[in-house]
Amino acid sequence: MKMKTTIYTFVLLILFTACNNTVRKEIKSASGSIGNIPLETLLKPTDEYVIAALPVTTPLLKNIKIPVNAYGTIEYDTRAATTISARVSGRIEKMYIRYRYQPVEKGQKIMDVYSPEILTAEQNLLFLLQNDAGNTSFIQAAKEKLLLLGMSAGQLEQVIKGGKPLYSISIYSNSSGHVHEAGMEHDGGSSINKSTEPAVSQELSLKEGMYIQKGQTLLMLMDHHKVWAALQIFTSDQSLVKIGNPVMIIPEADTSKVITGKIDFLEPFYRTNSKTLTARVYFHNHSMLPVGSHVSANIFSDPHNAWWLPASAVISLGMNEVAFIKSSGGFIARKIITGIRSDNLIQVTSGINEKDTVAVNAQYFIDSESFIRTSSK
């Protein structure tokens, strides 16, 4: 029995040795390749190399003027804001404007105010005119004082001719615009009076009979003709937008009224609850577009001279972006650093050079995404 087992073992050993020698001879006679693919290529790790025959391209050095699309709103130009302040302390006798956003013209009467200080100055002037008419220097000083306290030239002339003081003086608007209350937000909100009424129908907090103090800001006037477009620039486009870039603005309220301009100012901060940078475009609101209405804009950035690849040639693997470089009948996944994206092109800042050949469509390798190990060489 032991003799038979020994013989079987010896026979199996002879057969195994013969087969092994035959395989080695066949591999050796294959001249190190199978078809057109070298054997060493087939033996590469599958997580670094993909064998495929796909269309390829090379990085293109090109000077591109990249358009940036942006959206925004029309806002008041706060540089054109004017205020109406009290030059004297006193009591409001009569109000001639009642509501927020009420239009006001330059020179229009705003309110009548009774002021003991002005009444005293009027009495001093009349006393000089009646008892010391030759003292021209004192009389002139008394007139200038009344003018500085807010009395108009017409009212002063009325006092002199009538020979009696006016118990209230009128305050006039120093510019044209729409009425905003002091402390009132430009979008219609108010830090003074939070109401459920529409802002345009809310009454002003100033009322007849109220007392005002010298230097107090009574009202603010905003000019609807002087506005800016506040355009929201996303993070990916912020490096492209510079002061002076030409802009074409299309109002949603009337798409036929195209506005041309340039980037006048980039706000150096993010607005509250916003993750975009705001760019301002100043313009004269000839068409009286509503403040707060939405606009779309095309910003024409400066030309960028860079290396570009088709966007389809780059694929994102989460934290990394990858292009597939042609190498010996296959493709190696290589990590690259990208920059600007424009239409169907993407800027490549590092990772490949002008001599590298890249797969035109990296999506063909999407099934291999889970096991591809990127190369940095």
Tell me: do 164 and 86 sit in the same domain: yes
Residue 174 has pLDDT above 50, yes or no: yes
Average pLDDT over residues 250-259: 87
Residue 169 has pLDDT above 60, yes or no: yes
Mapped to the 3 state alphabet, what secondary structure does the chain carry? Answer: CHHHHHHHHHHHHHHHHHHHHHHHHHHHHCCCEECCEEHHHHCCCCCCEEECCCCEECCEEEEEEEEEEEEEEEEECHHHCEEEECCCCEEEEEECCCECCCEECCCCEEEEEECHHHHHHHHHHHHHHHHCCCCHHHHHHHHHHHHHCCCCHHHHHHHHHHCCCCCCEEEECCCCEEEEECCECCCCCECCCCCCCCHHHCECCCCCCCEECCCCEEEEEECCCEEEEEEEECHHHCCCCCCCCEEEEEECCCCCCCEEEECCEEEEEECCCCCCEEEEEEEECCCCCCCCCEEEEEEEEEEEEEEEEEHHHCEEECCEEEEEEEECCEEEEEEEEEEEEECCEEEEEECCCCCCCEECCHHHHHHHHHHCCCECC
Reported confidence tier of residue 3, pLDDT bands at 50, 70, 90:
low
Half-sphere exposure of 162 (CA within 13 A, CB side): 12
Q: What is the pLDDT of residue 196?
A: 44
Using CA atoms, how far residue 321 sits from 14, 29, 332, 354, in Å, is 55, 42, 13, 18
- Range with the lowest mean pLDDT among 112-126, 174-188, 239-253, 302-316? 174-188
Task: Show which of 253, 275, 303 is a domain's final residue.
Answer: 303
- Range with the lowest mean pLDDT among 33-37, 73-77, 108-112, 151-155? 33-37
Residue 296 has pLDDT above 90, yes or no: yes
Q: What is the pLDDT of residue 294?
A: 93
Percent of the chain whose predicted confidence (pLDDT) is above 70: 77
Residue 107 has pLDDT above 60, yes or no: yes
Question: Which among 11-15, 53-57, 168-172 has the top mean pLDDT?
Answer: 168-172
What are the tens digits of pLDDT across the range 18-42?
545 544 444 444 444 444 555 455 4
Q: How far apart are CA 361 and CA 359, in angstroms?
A: 6
Reported confidence tier of residue 201, pLDDT bands at 50, 70, 90:
low
Six-digit token string for 196: 């459920």
Six-digit token string for 335: 């990590």
Half-sphere exposure of 190 (CA within 13 A, CB side): 22
Tell me: do 239 and 316 sit in the same domain: no
Do 313 and 356 form a contact (C-beta atoms < 8 A)? no
Name residue, tokens 């950035």: 301
To the nearest 10°, report the CA torsion of 299, 302, 303, 305.
Answer: -130
Tell me: do 96 and 198 sit in the same domain: yes
Is residue 229 included in any domain, yes or no?
yes
Q: What is the pLDDT of residue 313?
A: 79
Reported confidence tier of residue 191, pLDDT bands at 50, 70, 90:
very low
Residue 50 has pLDDT above 80, yes or no: no
Is residue 87 included in any domain, yes or no?
yes
Tell me: do 231 and 333 sit in the same domain: no
What are the tens digits of pLDDT across the range 217-240?
888 888 888 999 999 998 878 888
Task: Show which of 263, 280, 303 is a domain's final residue.
Answer: 303
Tell me: do 115 and 212 sit in the same domain: yes
Phi, psi of 268 (to 5 degrees): -85, 35
Tell me: do 288 and 338 sit in the same domain: no
Is residue 125 included in any domain, yes or no?
yes
What are the tens digits of pLDDT across the range 112-141?
999 999 999 999 999 988 888 888 899 899
Q: How far apart are CA 99 and CA 339, in angstroms?
A: 52
Tell me: do 133 and 215 sit in the same domain: yes
What are the tens digits of pLDDT across the range 314-339?
887 777 788 887 777 677 778 888 87
Phi, psi of 22 (to 5 degrees): -65, -45
Q: What is the pLDDT of residue 52?
A: 60
- Range with the lowest mean pLDDT among 66-70, 129-133, 197-201, 305-309? 197-201
Tell me: do 74 and 88 sit in the same domain: no
Reported confidence tier of residue 150, pLDDT bands at 50, 70, 90:
confident
Tell me: do 170 and 292 sit in the same domain: no
Six-digit token string for 38: 């070298």
Domain that holds residue 214: 82-222
**What is the pLDDT of the chain when averaged over all its residues?**
78
Is residue 166 included in any domain, yes or no?
yes
Do 183 and 190 form a contact (C-beta atoms < 8 A)? yes
Do 124 and 165 form a contact (C-beta atoms < 8 A)? no
Total number of domains constituting the chain: 4
Tell me: do 230 and 283 sit in the same domain: yes
User: 281 or 313: whose pLDDT is higher?
Assistant: 281
**CATH code assigned at 329:** 2.40.420.20
